[in-house]
């Protein structure tokens, strides 16, 4: 199955792990967009993957052909 584009909701550690794997497999980073409410997370993504589109509107990512929800469950910040 081939996707025209992939959207990530959440731009933290989980997202970066997926993006690294996709890049290592030769997937076009221009076909990926990321949304995160954290400016710092978006800046980190843009620094490490400059070809990726950072979206400021959640709907722009949510309408991708394939959407990956890359966030921690509520109440779990991953530090416990």
Which pLDDT value is given to residue 1?
57
* CATH code of residue 46: 3.40.50.720
Q: Is the pLDDT of residue 21 over 60?
A: yes
Q: Of residues 14 and 3, which shows the higher confidence score?
A: 14
Residue 54 burial (C-beta neighbours within 10 Å; 0-12, 13-18, 19+): middle
**What mean pLDDT is predicted for residues 36-57?**
95
Number of domains in the chain: 1
Residue 75 lies in a domain: no
Predicted TM-score (pTM) of this structure: 0.84
Phi first, then psi: give them for residue 43, nearest 5 degrees.
Answer: -65, -40
What value does the CA radius of gyration of the chain take, rounded to a whole number of Å? 12
Domain boundaries, position 41: 6-69
36 pLDDT higher than 60: yes
Distances (CA, A) of 75 to 37, 78, 79: 17, 9, 11
Residue 80 has pLDDT above 60, yes or no: no
Reported as type and span, the H/E element at residue 76 is none
């Amino acid at each position: 199955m081939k996707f025209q584009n992939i959207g990530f909701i959440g731009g933290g550690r989980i997202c970066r792990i997926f993006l690294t794997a996709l890049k290592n497999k030769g997937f076009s980073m221009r076909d990926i967009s990321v949304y995160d409410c954290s400016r710092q997370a978006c800046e980190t993504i843009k620094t490490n993957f400059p070809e990726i589109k950072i979206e400021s509107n959640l709907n722009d990512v949510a309408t991708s052909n394939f959407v990956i929800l890359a966030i921690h469950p509520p109440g779990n910040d991953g530090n416990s």
